[in-house]
Amino acid sequence: MSGVAVLAVTPMIAAMAEKRAKRGATASRALKVRVKTARGRSAASTRWLERQLNDPYVAHARDAGYRARSAFKLIEIDDRYHVLAPGKRVVDLGAAPGGWSRVAAERVRSTEADPRVVAVDYLDMDPLPGVVVIKKDFLDDDAPEVIRAALGGHPADVVLSDMAAPTTGHRRTDHLRTIHLCEVAADFAVSVLSPGGHFVAKVFRGGTEGELLALLKRRFTSVHHVKPPASRAESVELYLVAKGFRGTQDD
């Protein structure tokens, strides 16, 4: 993965792993679960279930109260690139079930009295402390206006997107569909970010398409492809971190 930053496991994640290890042999056995194929369950479903049961990040997410293991991907990215700082305003696109939104709220110190995180999804999402949940397609014409209103009339400092198109099993097709989601998320970010803001989005291995990468390099001071430890080694996903939005005046 030339040009991709492969992040090290952060102290927080290492500490959680050590804590679980100290629970003894029972916990160790629990992380080596084999699942038998049951009637009505496909072999693929069985493999997925077995992987979930043996995935330490799934266990860590459950211990920490996060709604999804993907929360640790954002934690690891932010520990390296520092995109979430206290007081920043954040928009989380495709936010359900809310793993990234909770991490963002914790790190920018968003509260019920002063909410600084807006979670946007056309799917239902349960409430989170310090997070304004908007059930909406972010591609709707009025979405930027609605989101800015939810941020108290202010532009966003950070736009996050952990969205991925449903996979087809055809790598090139899946890559192109997810790149398209990243493209529309980037267009949205450009429309709502304040100067100096940051954009974090999922892409698939193969990198970012030339036109999108050119746009981001023109609009941001630095652009990185990142593989956080919480992203499974066999997964083709990468994350794009674009820092230092230049504003919209330089076309």
DSSP string, 57-119: HHHHHHHHT-SSTTHHHHHHHHHHH----TT--EEEET-TT-HHHHHHHHHHT--SSS--EEE
The amino acid occupying position 162 is D
The amino acid occupying position 166 is P
Which superfamily does CATH assign the domain made up of 71-245 to?
A: Vaccinia Virus protein VP39 (3.40.50.150)
Listed by start position, the domains of the chain span: 11-64, 71-245
CA 99 to chain centre: 8
Phi, psi of 91 (to 5 degrees): -115, 125
Q: What is the pLDDT of residue 79?
A: 95
Tracing tokens 């194929």 back to the chain, one arrives at 37
Rounded to two decimals, what is the model's pTM?
0.77
DSSP letters for 111-122: -SSS--EEEEES
**116-129 pLDDT, tens digit each:** 999 999 999 999 99
Is omega for the bond preceding 97 within 30 degrees of 0, making it cis?
yes
The amino acid occupying position 138 is F
Say which DSSP state 53 is in: H
Residues carrying an active site annotation:
202
d(CA 92, CA 70): 13
Q: What is the pLDDT of residue 25?
A: 39
Which tokens sit at 168?
């087809």
CB contact at 8 A, 146 and 118: no
Select the more confidently predicted residue: 127 or 33. 127
Q: What is the pLDDT of residue 212?
A: 85
CB contact at 8 A, 147 and 134: yes
Residue 242 has pLDDT above 70, yes or no: yes
**177-206 pLDDT, tens digit each:** 878 889 999 999 999 999 999 999 998 776
- Residue 212's contacts (CB-CB under 8 Å, 6 or more residues apart) are 179, 182, 183, 186
Mean per-residue pLDDT, 59-82: 78
d(CA 138, CA 135): 9
pLDDT grade, residue 27 (50/70/90)?
very low
pLDDT grade, residue 29 (50/70/90)?
very low
